[in-house]
Amino acid sequence: MNFEDAVKDCGIIAILRGVTLDEVAGIGDALYAAGIRIVEVPLNSPEPFRSIAALAARFHGRMIVGAGTVLDVDSVDRVKSAGGQISVSPDCNPAVIAHAVERNLVPLPGVFTPTEAFSAVRAGARHLKLFPAEAAAPKTVKAWKAVLPRDVKVYAVGGVTPANMREWAEAGCAGFGIGSNVYKPGVSAADVGKAAADFVAAWNELKRA
């Protein structure tokens, strides 16, 4: 499975900020059972590279695993060494984007303006993370899609719920990054699975429309 296939299957990226190594396998199992096929472990989580490695080994060929909050080139190398496949950032750093592409990782840089979006594209990104989406609007994505290259996809991250997912999708979003609405430290794997299932159900409704 590659990132493009995973997004088509389910465009929900589960963000496990704060996940610990002892719980990550159970959380991963719950997410997979709910239909999630892409997971990121932010690098400001405890032992993030070990959690990425554990998920990458457990779900090899079945789930795309990678890192979030990737802020420098050295971190890209460590994500690759851990078996990660995606490099997600809150910002647009051309050096980090280009290095991720060079290491055969899929970069998802954070962008909030057209200038940042095109800077990311010029650096090699084909997947852009609109962040924080709750400070923007679906019409932002619609305007961007009118000028971005056709192969560039936009993902809304921040403030997305099953109830408002449709308006973002209709504006042109290819997928969504979901953090605390699916996982937050202290939440059980069962509850994570239930929350994820609600998002997957909303996604499947979009696909049927």
Catalytic residues: 40, 129
CA pair distance 84, 193, nearest whole angstrom: 22
Taking alpha carbons only, the member of 15, 2, 7 closest to residue 154 is: 7
Q: What's the chain's length in residues?
A: 209
Residue 101 · residue 124 · CB < 8 Å? yes
95: tokens are 């050096």
66 and 51 Cβ atoms separated by less than 8 Å: no
Distance separating alpha carbons of residues 75 and 176, to the nearest angstrom: 23
Instruction: Give yes or no for a contact between 99 and 125, defined as CB atoms under 8 angstroms apart.
Output: no
**Rounded to whole angstroms, what are the CA distances from 157 to 69, 73, 184?**
13, 23, 15
What distance in Å separates the CA atoms of residue 156 and residue 111, rounded to the nearest whole number? 10
Give, in order, the Cα–Cα distances in Å from 92 to each of 35, 59, 83, 122, 156. Answer: 29, 29, 23, 11, 15
Question: How many other C-beta atoms can be found within 10 angstroms of the C-beta atom of residue 62?
Answer: 11
